[in-house]
Amino acid sequence: MPLHEEVSALLRTVADTVVVPRFRTLAAHEVAIKTAGEIVTVVDRESELRLHAGLAKLGLGARILGEEAAEMDPALLDGVGEGLVWLIDPLDGTANFAAGRQPFGMMIALVEDGDPIAGWMLDPLSGRLCHAARGFGATINGARVRSRPTDTARPRAALGTHFLVSDRRVRAHAHADLHLDVVPVPRCAAESYPRLVLGEDDVALFQRILPWDHAAGALFLTEAGGHITHWDGAPYRVGGRSTGVLAAASDALWEQAANVLLGPAAGLVELECLTS
């Protein structure tokens, strides 16, 4: 069985046996605070263990790094941009899942020296599987897809700024509102990236760029014809030193959004300078 089919089957199996049966059935003691503003559930942990075991059986000799393992031991992130690495986000959108609402997803990426070379994003409830392989395009449930704009009067932009301090968030949104149609973020990267390809959003901006959150989506978007960079304009890379990401459904939309969001009036580049 080809690699993309093996990983797809693994994701679907874990979704059907671990994730979906626990949706809207979690007990209070099965949800815990992980960090400020972040929670973890028993489903995150069990899903990661099952996905880790399945990837290990594939025999590629790659490191396997999951979100929850890295939370327990941050040193696992050392060298994440070196060599061949599997990245696992066992339950993306955990807060949505724990609250009994959609969207949430599961993501796996295979990264080589910081560059994503294959990615999978599964919506466990609908069964929608987004897949991309470097140089081979992007698919949804096996059908080739190309990114398309929303064709709204102003670009629709979902701004993931909830980890910014309040005054910087207000400043960035106030400036963005002058030029863009700012829409709520889904709080789930496994949903954000498909929206850019499916013509539902034009632009997505993220401040926090944990590797498992973006590697699969960044590859899916670029293979579908979209564009993504860090805030400094550098190509997206896992384990690099650059801050944030700006993603768009096309090169032209990225340029339009960058002029608004990465210019001095928005204050985000100023933030990058302070944190780099």
What distances in angstroms separate CA 23 from CA 34, 157, 259, one per listed residue? Answer: 19, 29, 41
User: Residue with structure tokens 């294959």?
Assistant: 118
The model's confidence at residue 1, banded by pLDDT at 50, 70 and 90, is: confident
Which tens digit of pLDDT belongs to each residue from 65-84?
Answer: 999 999 999 999 999 999 99
pLDDT at residue 50 tops 60 = yes
What CATH number does the domain containing 28 carry? 3.30.540.10
Domain co-membership, 37 together with 93: yes
pLDDT at residue 171 tops 50 = yes
User: Residue with structure tokens 């990267």?
Assistant: 189
Q: Which of 125, 145, 165 is the last residue of a domain?
A: 145
Q: How many domains does the chain have?
A: 2
End-to-end Cα separation, the chain, in angstroms = 44
The model's confidence at residue 139, banded by pLDDT at 50, 70 and 90, is: very high
The pTM score is 0.95
Token reading at 85: 């690495």
Strands 156-160 and 143-145: unpaired
Helix (H, G, I), strand (E, B) or coil at 79: coil
Which tens digit of pLDDT belongs to each residue from 195-253?
Answer: 999 999 999 999 999 999 999 999 999 999 999 999 999 999 999 889 899 999 999 99
Token reading at 173: 């949104």
pLDDT at residue 178 tops 80 = yes
List the beta strands (DSSP E) in the chain. 31-35, 38-41, 63-66, 84-92, 105-112, 115-122, 129-133, 138-140, 143-145, 156-160, 181-183, 203-206, 227-230, 245-248
138 Cβ contact partners less than 8 Å away, ≥ 6 residues apart? 130, 131, 132, 144, 145, 146, 197, 220, 221, 223, 224
Domain that holds residue 138: 3-145
What CATH number does the domain containing 264 carry? 3.40.190.80
Is 119 a member of any domain?
yes
The model's confidence at residue 18, banded by pLDDT at 50, 70 and 90, is: very high
Is 151 a member of any domain?
no
Is 34 a member of any domain?
yes
